[in-house]
Structure 1
Amino acid sequence: MFRRAIPLLFGCIFLVSCEYFSSTNSASQNADQQLDTIIDLAKVDVYPIFYDCEDYSEESDQKECFEASLSKRLSELLNKNDLKVKKVVNDTTYINLFIDNKGKASVVSINSPQNVKEQLPQLDSIIENSVDSLQKIKPAVKRGILVNSQYKLAIIIKTI
């Protein structure tokens, strides 16, 4: 009987030791998976772009094209309005712009100094209408998924 117990004991030890090594390997795989799933949500892989900026092959060129096109289009839309002030204005208004995963731009908030609010009370609605009238934007991409993104823009307001 003792002769049968020894092989059985070695068999049990062998099975337990194999499982021990297997779980260590599994733990390292879990660590690799955890490292792989850490995502920096503050950055996107591909910035949003206007469809006419797609011709640029480099992402940095596409980003520059988007920023220049956005500034130009907003400037054109804002300049169409006949804004009149009583005092000299030389200040900066900040816009928090949200671009959803479908490419629709909208204003989250507008931060204007008090003198701009007093001199140009209609500025907020003009900015919102200008952003709403922008053409559709190709949204930002993160890991192959279209994502929402938010940007802060500065509008310098100067009387001429």
Structure 2
Amino acid sequence: MFFRLVILISIIMVTFSCDFISPSKTTLRNTALLDTVIDYNDVDVYPLFLDCNNCDSSEKQNLCFEMELLRRLQKITSKNSLGASNAVSDTIMVDILVNTEGKISIVSIQKNPNIEQQVPELDSLLFKSFALLPSTVQPSLKRGIPVNSMFTLPILLSTKE
């Protein structure tokens, strides 16, 4: 009789103890869900020029990347002059892509239709300038994996007659 009671208690403990030891199914499901949810609008590390590698926060790295990109573009475009039929002062928005290899390219250029008429060679100058940028850019990283990243770069266009 005692032997049967011990066996019965052992069977009951083995049967129900697994539920107390192992995590619940909802906990496992939530953990797996968190591991698979990826925020595609944010990256862990922004693209970096080698000069910006010493910045301590991601906001400073992003600002350094944008400022360095503008500085390098200004250096390239300052060697070229644009001719305009009238004085032009406007901001154009350039959507750029930094791909997984660190190559920077133009996706689109948004500008006032008047600028197209007054400065027809603007697009070709921008494409040429971006092609001359060095490819020493570290791409954006998401969970340690290089990813494409898009930026909108405002460029102030100012010409004289």
Establish whether TM, by shorter chain, passes 0.5: yes
Q: Which residue of 1 aligns with 2:33?
A: 34
Q: Which amino acid aligns with 2:124?
A: S
Find the aligned partners of 2:9 and 2:151 in 1 and give their Cα distance: 66
Q: Which residue of 1 aligns with 2:141?
A: 141
The runs of at least 4 consecutive aligned structure 1 residues that moved more than 3 Å come to 9-24
- Does residue 89 (structure 1) correspond to residue 88 (structure 2)? The answer is yes
**How much has 1:27 moved relative to structure 2?**
3.0
Find the aligned partners of 2:85 and 2:10 in 1 and give their Cα distance: 95
Structure 1: which 5+ residue stretches go unaligned? 1-8
**How much has 1:36 moved relative to structure 2?**
3.1
Matches within 5 A, 1:56-75: 56-75=55-74
Q: Which residue of 1 aligns with 2:154?
A: 154
- How much is the aligned-residue C-alpha RMSD, in angstroms? 2.6
**How much has 1:30 moved relative to structure 2?**
1.3
**How much has 1:11 moved relative to structure 2?**
9.3
**How much has 1:69 moved relative to structure 2?**
0.5
The answer (yes or no) to whether the contact 2:106–2:130 under 8 Å persists in 1 is yes
Find the aligned partners of 2:25 and 2:10 in 1 and give their Cα distance: 23
Matches within 5 A, 1:113-152: 113-136=112-135, 137-152=137-152
Relative to the length of structure 1, the TM-score reads: 0.83
Structure 2: which 5+ residue stretches go unaligned? 1-7
The answer (yes or no) to whether the contact 2:82–2:159 under 8 Å persists in 1 is no
Find the aligned partners of 1:146 and 1:115 in 2 and give their Cα distance: 39
Aligned residues between the structures: 159
Matched position secondary structure for 1:81: coil
**How much has 1:17 moved relative to structure 2?**
5.7
Find the aligned partners of 1:81 and 1:156 in 2 and give their Cα distance: 15
Find the aligned partners of 1:70 and 1:158 in 2 and give their Cα distance: 19
Matched position secondary structure for 2:24: helix
Shift of the 47–16 alpha-carbon distance from structure 1 to 2, 3 Å rule, reads same
Q: Which residue of 2 aligns with 1:43?
A: 42
Matched position secondary structure for 2:76: helix
Deviates more, 1:20-29 or 1:97-106: 20-29
Percent of aligned positions that are identical? 36
**How much has 1:62 moved relative to structure 2?**
1.9
**How much has 1:52 moved relative to structure 2?**
1.7
Relative to the length of structure 2, the TM-score reads: 0.82
